[in-house]
Structure 1
Amino acid sequence: MIPFRTLSPGQVIDKVIIHSLDWSLYQVSIEQNGKETWILDRNGQPMTARNILELEAKFERFQVASMVLRHESAYDEMVNQPVRQGTNRMEVPIGRNRLGRS
């Protein structure tokens, strides 16, 4: 885990991953050199938001190679399906809207 404040503006980030946890609840991690790391807020807690665009705006000052929305469904467990051999992870690329710039 790494505090957001320790990232340097202009820093190159391989991938920003916005994790969809629940209805309108998101957390964020970054991937650097193949290693995924959770981002912490100023209170040392995992950075969360109720809006994807809020998290996207936080990374406007960084050089991000890709940004994705990731969702891992618990649907199979909820309907008593057998455990999958593979993952049901879905990643959708999201654009850069430049919302943090005036």
Structure 2
Amino acid sequence: MKITLAALGDMQPITKFVANSLDVALYQLIACVGEAEYIVVDDEGDAIRARNPLALQKVVRHIDYHQMTIRHQSAYDEMIGQPVRKSSNQLEVPFGDNKLY
């Protein structure tokens, strides 16, 4: 599901924001409200992306949220010819607010 930043403002506080790693240096913003996950989009409906997680923190600094994490799913198994896993190898770690923006 998709949601705009303006709509998220009405749902505060947000459970967590996730900087979802799409590529080597490309992150997509995901908002978690309760059990639901939303891809955060701009006013034109394009997914909000950035080259680093800190840039995503800057985008949401005006919104009240409990936690921010970085999520990464490794392609290592595929790269070395391993069979597809039955379980996920997803890694999600906390990313604290360093107020560096």
Q: TM-score, normalised by structure 2?
A: 0.88
Q: CA deviation at 1:60?
A: 1.4
Q: Deviations over 1:14-36 (max 9, x none)?
A: 01010111121110111111111
Q: TM-score, normalised by structure 1?
A: 0.88
Q: State the secondary structure of the residue aligned to 1:7.
A: helix
List alignment gaps of at least 5 residues for structure 2. none
Would you say 1:33 and 2:17 are equivalent positions? no
RMSD of the alignment, in Å? 1.7
Shift of 1:9: 7.3
| Gaps in structure 1 of 5+ consecutive residues | none
Shift of 1:76: 0.8
Note the C-alpha offset of 1:59: 1.5
Q: Percent identity?
A: 39
Shift of 1:72: 0.5
- The residue identity in structure 1 corresponding to 2:88 is T
- AA aligned opposite 1:37: Y
